[in-house]
Amino acid sequence: MIEIICHEEAGLGRGREVLDRVQAYLDDHQQGYRVHITAYPGHIFDLAPKLLGNFQKDSRLLVIGGDGTLHELVAVFQAMQVDVPLTYLPAGSGNDFSRYFQQDKSHLSDYLAPLVEERSPKTLSIYHYQLGQHGRRRSLVNSLGLGFDGVVIEQAIKLKESKGIFRKPWGNKLRYLVGLFQSLPRLSLFNCQLKIDGQSYHFNRCALVVFMNNPYFGGGIHLYPLEKIQDRQVSAVVIHDIKAQGILDLLYRIFISHQQESSPYMTHLSGEVVEVEIDRPMISQVDGESLTIDQYPVRVWQGKQDFYL
């Protein structure tokens, strides 16, 4: 039995369209399934434990939605320490997880065949993180950004709630770009201390510290070529020593020349355990959802989750 969790409103209604196609595909392949619709933000935190309580040995799980839906489900599984492989069908407006980890897939059958044929799952890296010395363990699939990234996400969410072109399903990258330029006047610089496997690094005039399990964010913006990293340790990118010239340099490198790794304003560090200390609360984002971080250090380490790919 295939248990389907679907966020129908993902991608401004695209989730429902994808679900219809999935049901037709499974009917054609004579696969039994049950559909569980998320009715409100965070519903997965209530729905998934109940679903797992009735899971059978031959049960399999398919989730349809955006990066936020996947984030919530993985967070539940990791918190419950459940070893259940996931099949993910992107239906959001950003789909950064799929853009990187499922880049070889283009047709519905590409996503569903590994599930229907019960192929062996593949293990992908995720990140765990902890806020403060005594915070609970949390999980993410794409990125955790402190600073300007959080401000931009906050503005992009406001644009998504407006009318017109920003409400289009394909408008996520546009919302992020417009939100980025609208947020530049709100750019607030900070100093930070990173500790990587016990070694300390200090950065001044920072705009952003982002932990990246995925080189994409904001619906396809390629921040850093993490695909060149093979050890799959925790990757932290710091944008620092920012002045007006630095902003122009970074915008040119990120959106035009794609030579971010040689920028004097961007540093990449990696290790098994990475901690960051900042002396004030920061508007932040985790997997594209806005949050405020006011407990330090923020500690990040690697985890794993099985997927049918």
| Predicted pLDDT at 2 | 94
Give the highest mean pLDDT range of 5-19, 93-107, 127-141, 254-268: 127-141
Across the range 24-35, mean pLDDT stands at 95
| Predicted pLDDT at 160 | 76
Across the range 105-118, mean pLDDT stands at 92
- Count CA within 13 A, CB hemisphere, residue 298: 27
Average pLDDT, the chain: 90
| Predicted pLDDT at 46 | 92
pLDDT at 230 over 60: no
| Predicted pLDDT at 227 | 66
| Predicted pLDDT at 169 | 61
pLDDT interval class at 231 (50, 70, 90): low
pLDDT interval class at 13 (50, 70, 90): confident
| Predicted pLDDT at 41 | 81
Task: Choose which CATH entry (3.30.465.10, 2.120.10.30, 3.40.50.10330, 3.40.50.300) describes domain 2-120.
Answer: 3.40.50.10330
* CATH topology (fold) of 128-304: Tumour Suppressor Smad4 (2.60.200)
User: Domain residues of the chain, as ranges?
Assistant: 2-120, 128-304
| Predicted pLDDT at 229 | 54
Contact 96, 176 (CB under 8 A): no
| Predicted pLDDT at 45 | 92
